[in-house]
Amino acid sequence: MTSSGTSFRFTKGKPRFLNNRHQIISRHALPWLFAAYVLALIPHYAQIPFWLMIFAIGNLVWAALIYLGKTDHPNIYLKSGYAILLSGLFIFDFYHKYNVDSAVAFLVLTISLKLIEVKYRKDCYLFVFIIIYLISTNFIFSQGVGITIYTLLVMLIALGAVLTLESGGLSTPIKEKLRSLTKIAVITLPLMLVLFVFFPRMTPLWSIPLTTGEATTGISNVLSPGDIANLSQSSDVAFRVTFVGAIPPPAKRYWRGLILDKFDGRTWSSSKKSSPVMPSRIDTGTLFSHNKPGTYQILLEPTQHKWGFSLAGAVSDSSNIRVGSTGLVRFKTSIIQPTRYQIRQQGGIPSGLALATKKYLQLPVNNSNPKTRKYIQKLLLEQLSPTAIIAYLMNNFRTQPFYYTLSPPKTGSNFVDDFLFKTRSGFCSHYAGSLAYMLRLAGIASRVVVGYQGGEVNESDQYLIVHQYDAHAWVEAWLPGKGWFRLDPTAMVAPSRIEKGLESAVAGEKSFLSGRFFAAARYNNIPLIHWLRLKVDALNFKWQKWVVGYDSENQSEFLSSWMGVVTPQKMALIMTLSGAFAMIIAAWLFRRFEPKTRLSPEIRYYQRFCRQFEKKGLSRAMGQSENDFLKQIHDKVKVPALIQAADSFTQTYLKIRYSANFSNADTAHQEKYLMMLRLLKKQYVITKYQLLTYNIK
Amino acid sequence: MKTYSKYNGPRVTHFQKQFQKWVSRRIPPGKTAILNQKNIFIMPTREGLGLGLLLLLLLLTAINYQNSLIYLLTFFLGGIFVTSILVCFRNLEGLTLAFTEGRNCFSGEKAHFLFKLSAQEGKRYHRLFLSNEPESYQWINIDNGSDQRVILFTQTRCRGIEKPGRILIETRYPMGFLRAWSWLDLEAVALVYPAPVKGVKQRMAKGESDDSHGKSFSPGDDYSGVRDYIAGDPPNRMAWKLFASKGELYIKNFEENLHSTAWVDYNAYPGINMEARLSYLCYELLEKERKGDSYGLKLPGKTIEFGRGDVHLTKCLSSLALFQSEDSFKQLDNSF
Closest Cα in chain B, distance from residue A125 (Å): 7
Kindly tell me if the per-residue pLDDT of B211 is higher than 50.
Answer: no
Please list every residue in chain A whose beta carbon sits closer than 8 Å to the beta carbon of residue B181. Answer: 17
Kindly tell me if the per-residue pLDDT of B203 is higher than 70.
Answer: no
Q: What percent of chain A has pLDDT over 70?
A: 87
Q: Count the alpha carbons within 13 Å of B96 in the hemisphere toward its beta carbon.
A: 13
Minimum mean pLDDT among A101-115, A451-465, B146-160, B197-211: which range?
A: B197-211
Kindly tell me if the per-residue pLDDT of A290 is higher than 80.
Answer: no
Angle, helices A568-593 vs A174-198, to 10°: value is: 160
Helix (H, G, I), strand (E, B), or coil: what is residue B111? strand
B133 strand-pairing partners = B136
Contact B127 A169 (CB under 8 A): yes
As for the ipTM of the complex, it is 0.76
Q: What band does B259 get if pLDDT is binned at 50, 70 and 90? A: very low
Q: Are strands B295-299 and B262-265 parallel, antiparallel or unpaired?
A: parallel
- Number of continuous H segments (helices) and E segments (strands) in chain B: 8, 17
Residues 207-226 of A with CB under 8 A from B: 208
Contact B47 A549 (CB under 8 A): no
Kindly tell me if the per-residue pLDDT of A200 is higher than 90.
Answer: no
Amino acid at A376: I
Closest Cα in chain A, distance from residue B166 (Å): 7
Q: What band does B209 get if pLDDT is binned at 50, 70 and 90? A: very low
Q: Which helix (H) or strand (E) holds A396?
A: helix A386-399
- Could you give the CA distance from residue A479 to residue B255 in angstroms, rounded to a whole number? 144
Nearest by CB: B80 against A11, A13, A159: A159
Q: How many CB pairs under 8 A join A and B?
A: 196
Contact A168 B10 (CB under 8 A): no
Helix (H, G, I), strand (E, B), or coil: what is residue A256? strand
Give the residue with greater pLDDT, A670 vs B89: B89
Contacts of A355 (CB under 8 A, 6+ apart): none
For chain A, give the mean pLDDT: 81
- Could you give the CA distance from residue A453 to residue A428 in angstroms, rounded to a whole number? 11
pLDDT value of position A64: 92
Kindly report the backbone phi and psi dihedral angles of residue A528, in degrees, each rounded to the nearest multiple of 5, phi listed first.
Answer: -65, -45
Task: Convert the pLDDT of each residue in A613-665 to its tens digit.
Answer: 888 888 888 778 888 888 888 888 878 888 888 889 998 888 887 776 665 55
> Is B191 buried (19+), middle (13-18) or exposed (0-12) by CB count in 10 A?
buried
**Other beta carbons less than 10 A from residue A606's beta carbon:** 23
- Could you give the CA distance from residue B18 to residue B21 in angstroms, rounded to a whole number? 5
pLDDT value of position A42: 94
Closest Cα in chain B, distance from residue A661 (Å): 16
A153 close to B (CB below 8 A):
no
SS3 for A117-180 is: CCCEHHHHHHHHHHHHHHHHCHHHHCCCHHHHHHHHHHHHHHHHHHHHHHCCCCCCCHHHHHHH
Q: Are strands B105-106 and B190-193 parallel, antiparallel or unpaired?
A: parallel
Contact B71 A196 (CB under 8 A): yes
Kindly tell me if the per-residue pLDDT of A41 is higher than 80.
Answer: yes
Kindly report the backbone phi and psi dihedral angles of residue A598, in degrees, each rounded to the nearest multiple of 5, phi listed first.
Answer: -95, 125
Residues 180-199 of B with CB under 8 A from A: 181, 183
- Could you give the CA distance from residue A372 to residue A374 in angstroms, rounded to a whole number? 5
Please list every residue in chain A whose beta carbon sits closer than 8 Å to the beta carbon of residue B162. Answer: none
Closest CA to A106 of A81, A123, A87: A87
Residues 81-140 of B with CB under 8 A from A: 82-84, 86-87, 90, 121-124, 126-127, 129, 131-135, 137, 139
B142 strand-pairing partners = B125
Residues of A with catalytic annotation? 428, 472, 488
- Could you give the CA distance from residue B269 to residue B197 in angstroms, rounded to a whole number? 13
Kindly tell me if the per-residue pLDDT of A191 is higher than 50.
Answer: yes
Contact A185 B80 (CB under 8 A): yes
Kindly tell me if the per-residue pLDDT of B205 is higher than 50.
Answer: no
Task: Tell me if A18 sits within 8 A of B47, measured CB to CB.
Answer: no
Please list every residue in chain A whose beta carbon sits closer than 8 Å to the beta carbon of residue B131. Answer: 15-16, 18
Q: What band does B159 get if pLDDT is binned at 50, 70 and 90? A: confident
Nearest by CB: A15 against B58, B76, B167: B167
Please list every residue in chain A whose beta carbon sits closer than 8 Å to the beta carbon of residue B177. Answer: 162
Helix (H, G, I), strand (E, B), or coil: what is residue B249? coil
How many residues does the structure list for chain B? 336
- Could you give the CA distance from residue A620 to residue A608 in angstroms, rounded to a whole number? 12
- Could you give the CA distance from residue B266 to residue B277 in angstroms, rounded to a whole number? 7
Angle, helices B310-322 vs B326-335, to 10°: value is: 130
A103 close to B (CB below 8 A):
no
Nearest by CB: B141 against A125, A169, A551: A169
What's the DSSP call for residue A585? H
Please list every residue in chain A whose beta carbon sits closer than 8 Å to the beta carbon of residue B167. Answer: 15
- Could you give the CA distance from residue A21 to residue A2 in angstroms, rounded to a whole number? 14
Please list every residue in chain A whose beta carbon sits closer than 8 Å to the beta carbon of residue B6. Answer: 13
A162 close to B (CB below 8 A):
yes
Contact B54 A133 (CB under 8 A): yes
A618 close to B (CB below 8 A):
no
Minimum mean pLDDT among A75-89, A132-146, A578-592: which range?
A: A578-592
| DSSP letters for A589-623 | HHHHHSPP-PPPHHHHHHHHHHHHHHHTT--PPTT
Task: Tell me if B153 sits within 8 A of B167, measured CB to CB.
Answer: no
Please list every residue in chain B whose beta carbon sits closer than 8 Å to the beta carbon of residue A9. Answer: 134
Radius of gyration in angstroms for the set of CA atoms belonging to chain A, rounded to a whole number: 37
pLDDT value of position A213: 45
